[in-house]
């Protein structure tokens, strides 16, 4: 069986990995409004809507109250979270998990780097699994730029490196890290109804 991932939506201008510029007061206020609660221990805005509103935040791995917090990249944009919730409700997680151990072949377009080859690349399940494990390691490395927390050592998010447990976490990582880093997050984003190149901030009911 062959699955084709559509040409990646342009996310180059939205990618932000550590080190981050400090979040502004307006950023914190916007995230708090998106979440419906005060934003906690935000260390950076990892991805933004094309209008500039936060889409993914990065959170300190140990909260101010001492709680370990493994989810470094946290999807906050209401339209994005709603679209990903729909994917989960429609049973997309088992299908994506099957890519890690089944016989499917995922065909992806080339990464966003200007020097990358333009021909699509076929990824077999073992290759997808290897990329997914690399994404897990990259996630932890990004988080540990803000400190090592023994309680969550070796733990990333979303089920990585060998399961698919939370598409919100995986899509958040894909948006922050850029196309080609997290293959499951990339594919979930492409299968969702939300497009990061289109502002939907005014279309989400409060």
- Judged on CB neighbours under 10 Å (0-12, 13-18, 19+), 133 is middle
CA distance 161 to 137: 8
Q: Please give the pLDDT value at position 206.
A: 44
Q: Please give the pLDDT value at position 15.
A: 59
pLDDT averaged per 10 residues in sequence order, the chain, 206 residues: 42 68 96 97 96 96 98 98 98 95 49 36 73 97 97 98 97 96 96 94 59
User: What is the phi/psi pair of residue 135, to 5°?
Assistant: -65, -40
- Judged on CB neighbours under 10 Å (0-12, 13-18, 19+), 73 is buried
Q: Please give the pLDDT value at position 105.
A: 43
Structure tokens at 148: 């090592």
CA distance 157 to 167: 10
pTM score: 0.83
CA distance 42 to 5: 32
């Amino acid at each position: 069986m062959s699955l084709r991932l559509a040409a990646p939506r342009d996310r180059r201008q939205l990618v932000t990995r550590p080190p981050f510029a400090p979040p502004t007061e307006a950023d914190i206020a916007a995230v708090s409004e998106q979440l419906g609660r005060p934003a906690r221990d935000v260390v950076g805005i990892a991805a933004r809507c094309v209008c500039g509103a936060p889409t993914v935040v990065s959170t300190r791995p140990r909260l101010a109250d001492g709680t370990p917090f493994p989810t470094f990249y946290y999807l906050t944009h209401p339209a994005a979270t709603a679209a990903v919730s729909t994917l989960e409700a429609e049973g997309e997680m088992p299908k994506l998990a099957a890519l890690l151990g089944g016989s499917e072949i995922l065909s992806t377009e080339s990464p966003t780097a200007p020097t990358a080859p333009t021909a699509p690349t076929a990824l077999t399940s073992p290759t997808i699994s290897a990329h997914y494990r690399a994404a897990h390691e990259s996630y932890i490395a990004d988080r540990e730029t803000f400190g090592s927390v023994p309680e969550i050592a070796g733990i990333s998010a979303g089920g990585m490196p060998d399961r698919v447990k939370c598409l919100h976490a995986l899509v958040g990582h894909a948006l922050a890290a850029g196309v080609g880093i997290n293959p499951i997050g990339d594919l979930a984003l492409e299968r969702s109804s939300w497009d990061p190149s289109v502002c939907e901030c005014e279309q989400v009911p409060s």
